[in-house]
Structure 1
Amino acid sequence: MPKLGLEMERGELLSWEIDQGATLEKGEVIAEVESEKSVAEVEARETGVLKRTYLDAGETVPPGTPIGIVASADADIGDLEAEVEAELDAVGDADESATDESEPQAASDDEAGATATRAADDGDVQASPRARARADDLGVDLTTVGGTGYQGAITEADVEAAAESGTGVDDADVDVSPRARKRAEELGVDLTGVDGTGYQGAITEADVEDAAATADGRTRLETRTLDGMRRTIASRLGESYREAVHVTAHREADAEALFDAADAAADALEMDVTIQDILVLAVSATLEDHPAFNATFEDDEHVLWAEHNLGLAVDVEHGLITPVLSDVGSKSLETIATERREVVQSALDGTYTMDDLRGGTFTITNLGVLGVEAFDPIINPPQIAILGVDAIDEAPIRGADDGLEWRRRLPFDLTFDHRIVDGADAARFLETLVGHVEEPWSLLPDEVDRTAGARAGAATAMPDRTVTAHNPDGMAGTIEAGSFEWTYDEPEEAGGTETGPTPVDVFLSGLAACLSLSIRFQASKRETPVDAIEVTTDAEPAHGAVEQLEATIRLETDADDETVDRLVDLGERGCHVSQLLGDDVPMELSWERV
């Protein structure tokens, strides 16, 4: 059984991928095992044959315990088998000793003799010495007791359970497998009333569960035993909830700037930057101001850590794990975005290591992606706080002139250990976090345009045929049309600086654009397939008053010439800019001082 981490205490065999007696190649997967925190594959270290297996699926042993033998086809493994069995006996004795440390450590010489005599009577039953001694005391026939120890070995607890339930006497003649007998004891099922469906009427584990499921009028759909990782999660969170004094504070932040900052950073860095990446920066900056939360609590010591090692809760097949994004405070946004994706993906792929899960000082858990609007996260011990992120929602906010404005809101849930920090501390933490979320620009690298937020946050305003030209001095200026702005200028020979198109050029661009849209409209209306449309407008002479206009229209279409002629003619007549050339449109001029 491989050791999958320093904290691993036991490993569970999930499955054998190779049958006993089968040939295998070096590097081939033999079995899949699970520790308290991860799942791993056991690979063959050499080419050979899987000679023996010592564990069934679902059994657990400490790391380092033999689970099988791989050797060459003609190898004599007798000595190796004896060595392995001796090691397994030692493991069994250690497990038995751990089951009840309050019992005497060993039987006396007289008890040992009695046990040896009893063993002869019980045949080849596998039981520990203390279990045999206890069976003698209670008058329990070991051949009728189901073992729950290593490889079905009978423990002292099994003997006492059998004596208490009468199993050793009342159902002595029942044909039942050890697993089924053990399950019957767990569920409190009387085996004498169970009909067996196994070989020659033997009672199976499924028979026992069916009997238990229908005993009180309910039908059991499925029974799920907690596996290694799920068992560890249950243990750690149970410990956290029992030990820590959990209090959760809630706060909302305006999220518009968070989205704008993520978009601006993605453009500037030319990579995928999400609001989660900006939020990681914001949490790190908050921990810098409130170091008491970037801490652990063990052995009555509140330890504050210099590095911001943020655990990111990830939902995987076997449960919830928290890979750690280490030392966030010293990293750039680009590095954070890259590493965050990598650690999350490795967790989802199952390629993470135990080192990826260690050293966290604060945890972020996001159920908002699943639509959760509020929850009370449980602290990941020995940390003292965890931040829950909820679903983003839109809410009406009082805007300018007392009007309503819909804005995105991001709720947070901060659970903290009230033994270590107080509610006022948590309130100040959330106040700082909300400030960074609503004004994230100072957290971003210099290459990110700080003004992008103001532009991105404003709703687009169409000009509605109102355009303003600004000419502060010289022969150049800017044109403002709603939310849009561009430059106009004149050639150098006319006193300009050639930083933009001339006013005539701007007019020609409007004419070209109008013709293209008008022709497109006519093609759509008549269901004529037309792909690209390109319009070039020219004015003569090059300078001064315009004396002649020419428009060249290029269309990508398979329509015949007559159809194209019709589209172009209708497009010109429907173009409102073109209409200005022929219509006598009155213009009223006025002026005012500024």
Structure 2
Amino acid sequence: MPTEILMPALSPTMEEGTLAKWLVKEGDEVNSGDLLAEIETDKATMEFEAVDEGTIGKILVAEGSEAVKVNTPIALLLEEGESADVMDNDAEGTQTTSDPDPQPKEQDGSGDGKASPVTESDTPAPAAPRDDKGERIFASPLARRIAAEKGLDLAQITGSGPHGRIVKADVVDAKAADAPAPAAAPEPSADKAPAAAPAGPSADAVAAMYQGRDYEEMKLDGMRKTIAARLTEAKQTVPHFYLRRDIRLDALMKFRSQLNKQLEERGVKLSVNDFIIKACALALQSVPDANAVWAGDRILKLKPSDVAVAVAIEGGLFTPVLRDADMKSLSALSTEMKDLAGRARDRKLSPEEYQGGTFAISNLGMFGIENFDAVINPPHGAILAVGAGVKKPVVGTDGELTMATVMSVTLSVDHRVIDGALGAQLLEQIVQNLENPMVMLA
């Protein structure tokens, strides 16, 4: 029987995506690891690999299809001697469009689809198996079907496919184990990603307010839906409080100019933001209790300083994470940040590059914004909003009035993770690092 290739879940929260481009056509032979398609999620465009060998018998979802649900069959993979017509005859009337109902329940994604109806002649792959700890075992549909036919316990098989996935080759020569077959997968959790649209007047009610006025209706893409959902959730569930400080930048600007002259031959040019990243990373090490995230019923206190930085792109934003930022030099951070920002704008980041971190930075100073409050991106414990450096009159150490370049920053803090005094200590350390930049080279 042909094996269904399913719409993959390319991140833990992905529920649907766009099948941007097919990289194969019907009749092509593929092996495990071959690229099949480009999938566009709410955050990035990623390549999707084959996990079994065979022939592409039929493409079920057209190139360019949007809102394709995770676990939707998108193509049929044939073994030698098989025909795609068998599937058509056996499953006549079953939808294979980009939004089928019902959906097959497979292990490849995180969707909550239900099993598709089958005839008695079908030999479907069993529900996604789990090990004795209740954790999902990742295996291709073909591998699971063969394992079921041979009486194999997938929990005893080591996968050789991408990310340890069990593929056909792993089960073909395996011997049946004495252990009982894995239990059926538990009922899907009722917990889902937050709804894309926040509470408020209906779309029709809002449109009625502007009847007779000239306007353009803009459809929400996946990224905008995700931003709306996550930030609505953050403001409704995260108890924010805000701490503000002014930072004198004159010493940093002078130090930066000196370093850039020395780094010019290497093609490195440090930005003020590079210093801010380093200052925050070192501050998290100096105030380790603030290097933490909220995890539902507990707090996770991290040892490395993994700092996320907001990057504006067309239609939204990314927050790529610079991991172990406290351990990296300013020039290394600068090079890495430029690479991440460039690939973010091209939507070429992989999920692991923008997930995680404990702390974030949002800098709108380049737009002339002097101060603002940023929304925490869960599960982060805090985010630093950075304004523009502005010439202001200040009182010098000698008591005399003088001019200085002053930058206003606001630290938004999750009160569940960080209390007021701890947040103040963290912000004070950030200020000290930026006003005394040479300590960041120590």
Deviation of 1:245 after TM superposition, in Å, equals: 0.5
Corresponding residue of 1:38: 44
The whole-number CA distance in structure 1 between the counterparts of 2:278 and 2:29 is 48
* Pair 76,239 (structure 1): closer, same or farther in 2 beyond 3 Å: same
**Matching of residue 379 in structure 1 with residue 376 in structure 2:** yes
Contact residue 290 and residue 429 of structure 1 kept, 8 A: yes
The whole-number CA distance in structure 1 between the counterparts of 2:17 and 2:11 is 16
Corresponding residue of 2:67: 59
TM-score, with structure 2 as normaliser: 0.64
Which of 428, 432, 437 is the equivalent residue of 2:434? 437
* Pair 391,84 (structure 1): closer, same or farther in 2 beyond 3 Å: farther
Which of 388, 393, 401 is the equivalent residue of 2:390? 393
Corresponding residue of 1:305: 302
Unaligned runs of 5+ in 2: 1-5, 106-110, 118-201
* Pair 99,423 (structure 1): closer, same or farther in 2 beyond 3 Å: same
AA matched with 1:67: I
AA matched with 2:10: G
Deviation of 1:228 after TM superposition, in Å, equals: 1.8
Deviation of 1:422 after TM superposition, in Å, equals: 2.5
Q: Secondary structure at the match of 2:102?
A: helix
Q: Note the aligned Cα RMSD (angstroms).
A: 4.2
Which of 363, 367, 372 is the equivalent residue of 2:360? 363
AA matched with 2:102: D
Question: Number of residues paired by the alignment?
Answer: 334
* Pair 16,39 (structure 1): closer, same or farther in 2 beyond 3 Å: closer
AA matched with 1:37: K
* Pair 392,215 (structure 1): closer, same or farther in 2 beyond 3 Å: closer
Which of 6, 14, 18 is the equivalent residue of 1:13? 18
The whole-number CA distance in structure 2 between the counterparts of 1:441 and 1:313 is 26
Corresponding residue of 2:406: 409
Which of 220, 224, 228 is the equivalent residue of 1:230? 224
The whole-number CA distance in structure 1 between the counterparts of 2:329 and 2:399 is 40
Per-residue CA deviations over 1:524-568 (Å, capped at 9, x if unaligned) read xxxxxxxxxxxxxxxxxxxxxxxxxxxxxxxxxxxxxxxxxxxxx
Q: Secondary structure at the match of 2:73?
A: coil
**Matching of residue 419 in structure 1 with residue 416 in structure 2:** yes
Q: Secondary structure at the match of 1:288?
A: helix
* Pair 16,331 (structure 1): closer, same or farther in 2 beyond 3 Å: closer
TM-score, with structure 1 as normaliser: 0.48
Contact residue 367 and residue 390 of structure 1 kept, 8 A: yes
Contact residue 244 and residue 408 of structure 2 kept, 8 A: yes
Per-residue CA deviations over 1:47-86 (Å, capped at 9, x if unaligned) read x9996543673333114x2224699xxx953124457875
* Pair 272,88 (structure 1): closer, same or farther in 2 beyond 3 Å: same
Q: Residues 183-202 of structure 1: matches in 2 within 5 Å?
A: none
The whole-number CA distance in structure 1 between the counterparts of 2:68 and 2:304 is 37
Q: Residues 99-110 of structure 1: matches in 2 within 5 Å?
A: none
Q: Residues 438-517 of structure 1: matches in 2 within 5 Å?
A: 438-444=435-441
Q: Secondary structure at the match of 1:67?
A: strand
Per-residue CA deviations over 1:335-354 (Å, capped at 9, x if unaligned) read 22222222222212322111
Deviation of 1:214 after TM superposition, in Å, equals: 7.2
Deviation of 1:417 after TM superposition, in Å, equals: 1.1
Corresponding residue of 2:238: 244
AA matched with 1:233: I
The higher radius of gyration belongs to 1
The whole-number CA distance in structure 2 between the counterparts of 1:386 and 1:76 is 55
Deviation of 1:42 after TM superposition, in Å, equals: 6.2
The whole-number CA distance in structure 1 between the counterparts of 2:423 and 2:209 is 51
Per-residue CA deviations over 1:373-408 (Å, capped at 9, x if unaligned) read 111111110111111111111112245887643221
In percent, how many aligned pairs have the same letter?
29
Contact residue 213 and residue 219 of structure 1 kept, 8 A: no
The whole-number CA distance in structure 2 between the counterparts of 1:414 and 1:215 is 38
AA matched with 2:435: E
AA matched with 2:367: L
Corresponding residue of 1:92: 101
Q: Secondary structure at the match of 2:439?
A: helix
**Matching of residue 79 in structure 1 with residue 73 in structure 2:** no
Deviation of 1:265 after TM superposition, in Å, equals: 2.4
Corresponding residue of 1:265: 259
Contact residue 310 and residue 328 of structure 1 kept, 8 A: yes
Which of 275, 286, 295 is the equivalent residue of 1:278? 275
Deviation of 1:329 after TM superposition, in Å, equals: 1.7
Contact residue 376 and residue 413 of structure 2 kept, 8 A: yes
* Pair 78,22 (structure 1): closer, same or farther in 2 beyond 3 Å: closer
Corresponding residue of 1:345: 342
Corresponding residue of 1:325: 322
Deviation of 1:261 after TM superposition, in Å, equals: 2.0
Q: Secondary structure at the match of 1:410?
A: strand
The whole-number CA distance in structure 2 between the counterparts of 1:50 and 1:368 is 54
